[in-house]
């Protein structure tokens, strides 16, 4: 596609429910990143994929958060037992490669609201 695509654009869920957020990176980009942005803050790193494998998941806040990228393209961020504090905009970004980084392209984000 022309850019990084994220779906849904908005998601409202009840506390305790499970949610999945999808990211479709730019075709050919091997590196994919998930970030979380709270109101008035800069994006916060969650996880980085190089191909199919999670090269660095040190930013995931706890074991309720999990992400996969089974075929090295589309990625899904999964959140179990959602809490109100999980409410934020979840941003996905991709770049041509992980090392020798020059530019990350961000999607429009998924605004998650936990009520």
Partner 1 sequence: GQQVMQIPQYQHVQEGEDFTTYCNSSTTLSNIQWYKQRPGGHPVFLIQLVKSGEVKKQKRLTFQFGEAKKNSSLHITATQTTDVGTYFCAASRGSGNTGKLIFGQGTTLQVKP
Q: Rule CB under 8 A: which residues touch partner 1?
A: 31, 33, 40-45, 48, 56, 91, 93, 95, 98-109
Q: By C-beta, is 87 or 108 nearer to partner 1?
A: 108
Query: Cα(22)–Cα(76) distance, rounded to whole angstroms?
Result: 5
Considering beta carbons, is residue 48 or 65 the nearer one to partner 1?
Answer: 48
- The residue among 43 and 77 lying less far from partner 1, judged by its C-beta, is 43
CB of 21 to partner 1, least distance (A): 14
Closest CA to 34 of 8, 66, 9: 66
Spatial distance between the Cα atoms of 55 and 48, rounded to a whole number of angstroms: 6
CA–CA distances in Å: residue 97 to residues 7, 78, 104: 23, 24, 10
Nearer to partner 1, 49 or 86 (CB): 49
**Tokens at 90, concatenated:** 């979840």
Q: How far is the CB of 89 from partner 1 (least distance, A)?
A: 9
What is the smallest separation between the CB atom of 82 and partner 1, expressed in angstroms?
A: 22
- Whole-number Å distance between alpha carbons of 3 and 26: 5
- Please, what is the minimum distance in Å from the beta carbon of residue 81 to partner 1? 26
């Amino acid at each position: 596609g022309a850019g990084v695509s994220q779906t849904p654009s908005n998601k409202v869920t009840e506390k305790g429910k499970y949610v999945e957020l999808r990211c479709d990176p730019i075709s050919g980009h091997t590196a994919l990143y998930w970030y979380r942005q709270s109101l008035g803050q800069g994006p916060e790193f969650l996880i980085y994929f190089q191909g199919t494998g999670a090269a660095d998941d040190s930013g995931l806040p706890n074991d309720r958060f999990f992400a996969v990228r089974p075929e090295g393209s589309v990625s899904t961020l999964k959140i179990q037992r959602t809490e109100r504090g999980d409410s934020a905009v979840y941003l996905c970004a991709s770049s041509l490669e992980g090392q020798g980084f020059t530019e990350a392209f961000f999607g429009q984000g998924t605004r998650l609201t936990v009520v």
